[in-house]
A and B are shown apart, each in its own frame.
Chain A
């Protein structure tokens, strides 16, 4: 009799275990099954000064970033250069930098303006590098101007300041921000991949080895 009681308990536990596992797998599929690649869309409002590589590349990457975001700094310093060397210059990836200044970062919009102005002079790379590498300094005192001036000539800096004060750059930043909201960007960095009509937005920091595997898989699709 005791054995029957014990078997009854074991069977009840097995039934409970099976029910829970089935239930959670079902809940998992129901909760996440809707998360499929989004419908394709043409790339709007691409600033040619902040886009790199061939427009006809099989993969396009839109990187929404904030100059005051530590993760964006890590992405830029660890991934961007290798991505440019391995995929962008060879025509495999079309890379677009999009501005997405987060509201809680006091100076990120100012930094975005300076970077945009430098981009129009063809100096986007040294200025972005200076801004990210000195992020801890200028986010304390707000001295974006001094940080940018350190890597540009006085003549270039005069033009940059004129562009920043001119007010023509703000609508470009706003367009990028609105575009990010259509992709439901709520953190930076967020990267949106476009390949063969499919769109994959990804939030968070990408280690380069992981990104490489993903890009290779995307590129190998037929």
Chain B
């Protein structure tokens, strides 16, 4: 009979990280594309909604005054899709170490940018999700918590990858040992 995977603290943290961060990244990407303008039909109205939302997001990126307007457009047109893809990949758990590392790097970047804006007392919207949200100390704390969770998830994923897994033990050895015990 197959053993279940052992439940330890590291695996619990990995699961929590996958669920929480995966879900948040997917929501962040979707909300940037579809909020606050959520007209879905007909198709040209949906396209206009998404264009408007991306345009608003580009404006929020530009308000941080860290990159050029052209670079802000590139970020606005790519980041939502990257967030959705990373969120799905982390939730599924395929090649977890790679995508967990990517999420951690992105969150560290977000934390740095948001902290800088907060320390400079910039009166801007966070741009974290689709709806307008003032950048406050709470935003920095929230991003810090997510970054810490991502870091733990990534480190533990690497540690767990080095541990021998019960499923990797061939069943022949188990059958042999059970025959010995019967005899």
Instruction: Provide the residues of chain A in CB contact with B47, threshold 8 Å.
Output: 213
Q: Smallest distance from the beta carbon of B151 to chain A beta carbons, Å?
A: 24
Let me know if B30 and A28 touch, CB within 8 A: yes
Let me know if B167 and A20 touch, CB within 8 A: no
Bound Cα distance from A127 to B30, whole angstroms? 40
B53 CB within 8 Å of chain A: yes
A2 CB within 8 Å of chain B: yes
Bound Cα distance from A205 to B76, whole angstroms? 14
Which of A20, A35, A203 meets B52, CB within 8 Å? A203
Say what secondary structure dominates the interface of chain A: helix
When A and B form their complex, what is the total count of cross-chain residue pairs whose Cβ atoms lie within 8 Å? 81
Size category of the B interface is: 20 to 34
A209 nearest CB neighbor, chain B only: B51
Bound Cα distance from A20 to B92, whole angstroms? 8
Q: Smallest distance from the beta carbon of A196 to chain B beta carbons, Å?
A: 12
Bound Cα distance from A2 to B48, whole angstroms? 52
B37 CB within 8 Å of chain A: yes
A203 nearest CB neighbor, chain B only: B36
Among A9-17, A145-153, A154-162, the one that faces the other chain is A9-17
Say what secondary structure dominates the interface of chain B: helix
Let me know if B37 and A202 touch, CB within 8 A: yes
Known pairs A35-B38, A36-B40, A203-B56; A1 contacts B91 (CB<8 A): no
Let me know if A13 and B94 touch, CB within 8 A: yes
Let me know if B38 and A210 touch, CB within 8 A: no
The interface bits of chain B over 1-13 (1 if a CB of A lies within 8 angstroms of the residue's CB, else 0) are 0100000000000
Q: Smallest distance from the beta carbon of A58 to chain B beta carbons, Å?
A: 16
B30 nearest CB neighbor, chain A only: A28
Which residues of B in the span 62-112 have a Cβ within 8 Å of any Cβ on A? 88, 91-94
Instruction: Provide the residues of chain A in CB contact with B93, threshold 8 Å.
Output: 13, 16
User: What are 11 sample pairs from A and B whose C-beta atoms fall under 8 A apart?
Assistant: A2-B170, A9-B167, A13-B93, A24-B88, A28-B34, A35-B40, A71-B59, A200-B45, A202-B37, A205-B59, A210-B48
Q: Which residues of B contact A (CB under 8 A)?
A: 2, 26, 30, 34, 36-41, 44-45, 47-49, 51-53, 55-56, 59, 88, 91-94, 132, 167-168, 170-172
